Amino acid sequence: MAAYENRYWWSNDGIRLHYRDYPAHGAGRDDRPPILCLPGLTRNARDYSVVAERLAGEWRVITIDLRGRGESGYAKDPMSYVPLSYVQDIEALLRELGVDRYVAFGTSLGGIVTMLLAGTAREKIAGVLLNDVGPEIDPVGLSRIRSYVGKSQAWPTWMHAARAVAEGNDGVYPDYDIEDWLAMAKRLYRLNSAGRIVLDYDMKIAEPFRVPGNEAGPDMWRALDQLQGVPALIVRGERSDVFAAKTAARMTATLEGSELVTMPGIGHAPTLDEEPVRAAIGRLLDKVMMEPVRV
């Protein structure tokens, strides 16, 4: 298992935020841009642990807990649980670390944040992986997400939590066994002070969803356009109800030279540890190393 350090930074509105820092080792590794991993709506830094452990050493990998998730602090104002706030939080981290060039891996919400980051400072993005997300979100998936996000759950044992995760995701990962579900539960849940297994995020992240018309936001196709010329990998679960095949096809047509990998039989979202995706990540990072620094 690759070693990492737990580190923290402060948001502009005074929230202490957390990330895991997996260092690179060896000659020539310091010149490589770090890989910044941004998780989905209800996920956290642990969601990228397998990917980070595989790439760490060759690359510096930074996995983020967005505000209200994992070891990051909760926001006093729940209406700050929106993509533009997350963008500002990441920009604050990049300033603190002095990072002027990075590779972004974004799953679901993390991919939306990635596209918005490209809109504010495209020159910093050396490569991008967008996992099961695009400029348009399928209404079917959005409705499903609204049905569960922000609903508190508590279980007496990890096995109970694993069974609950399996019931809610058996169509997403049809080949998982109980060990896989236990591992997933330990990424999604935490042990609280009362000895119960609970979801590891602030239930108030659901509040922005309840505001009428809050679906309207920036034009994400324009944000995607900012990634022209950036090495790009787009990953889609074949059974995804969030990321439609037609949206993925339009994205690859829009971003010249981008690669699309569709994982058969998987829903929202691929883990990025599937063998075809691992190979595609290798190709993406090879392109990053060959790319000249843009100014």
**What average pLDDT is seen over the chain?**
94
Residue 240: both structure tokens together: 């995804």
Per-residue confidence (pLDDT) for residue 209, from 0 to 100: 82
Task: Return d(Cα 38, Cα 130) in angstroms, integer.
Answer: 10
* Mean pLDDT score, 92-99: 97
Q: Smallest Cα–Cα separation from 106: which of 227, 1, 203, 8?
A: 227
Angle at 8 between CA 278 and CA 62, to 5 degrees: 15
Task: Return d(Cα 237, Cα 38) in angstroms, integer.
Answer: 18
Residue 294, pLDDT > 70, answer no
* Packing angle, helices 109-121 and 83-97, rounded to 10: 60
Residue 215: both structure tokens together: 């679906």
Q: How many CA atoms lie within 13 A of 196 on its CB side?
A: 8
Residue 106, pLDDT > 80, answer yes
**Residue 228, number of CB atoms within 10 A of its CB:** 14
* Mean pLDDT score, 84-102: 97
Task: Domains for the chain: give ranges and CATH numbers.
Answer: 5-140+218-290 (3.40.50.1820)
Query: For residues 171, 174, 178 and 179, what is the CA-based torsion angle, rounded to 10 degrees?
Result: -120
Distance, first Cα to last Cα, the chain:
37
34-66: per-residue pLDDT in tens? 999 999 999 999 999 999 999 999 999 999 999
